[in-house]
Amino acid sequence: MSALRQALLGVALLAALGLLIWSQELRISGANKDARLAEKDAATAREDAERNLANANALRANLQQERNAQITLRTQQDQLRQGLAKRELTIEALKRENADLRNWADQPLPDAARRLRERPALTGADAYRQWLSGRGALHATRDQPAQ
């Protein structure tokens, strides 16, 4: 019986060894699947990172363009303010030098010009539209120049 026992033990040992090899194969295939999924996820993450970097660079360039445009607009605004101040000084100097101009500038605006500048307190676009459509058109002057 010892030969039969040894044969059964040998078969049991071979079965255990086969079972161990099969379980290791299952673990290895599972690990390979996990590795492929991890590589796929890493590739997707790299693509997302590259896309995000491109977006960030585009936004940075756009921001720089807007900052440059703002600098240009501020410069133009400063130049316009300086030009306006010069013109106001010139007008004041002309008023001091020329009595006719001073008298003309001191007179009130004509009624037609004053009506152009009158505007009620409006709240909202609809009220502005109604005010525009409700006011009368300006009358043409009677003295038309000959053409």
Q: What is the pLDDT of residues 108-139, one digit of tens each?
A: 888 888 877 777 778 888 888 887 777 655 55
Q: What is the pLDDT of residue 139?
A: 56
Which residue, chain included where needed, has tokens 């997707």?
Answer: 44
Q: What is the mean pLDDT of the chain?
A: 87
Q: How many CB atoms lie under 10 A from the CB of residue 95?
A: 15
**Tokens at residue 27, please?**
């673990």
Q: Give dist(CA 122, CA 136) in Å, integer.
A: 17
Q: What is the pLDDT of residue 124?
A: 85
Q: What is the pLDDT of residue 137?
A: 54
**Tokens at residue 48, please?**
């997302």
The reported pTM is 0.45
Helices 99-106 and 2-97 sit at what angle, rounded to 10 degrees? 120
Q: What is the pLDDT of residue 146?
A: 55
Per-residue pLDDT reduced to its tens digit, 19-75: 999 999 999 999 999 999 999 999 999 999 999 999 999 999 999 999 999 999 999
Cα torsion 39, 41, 47, 49 to 10°: value is -110
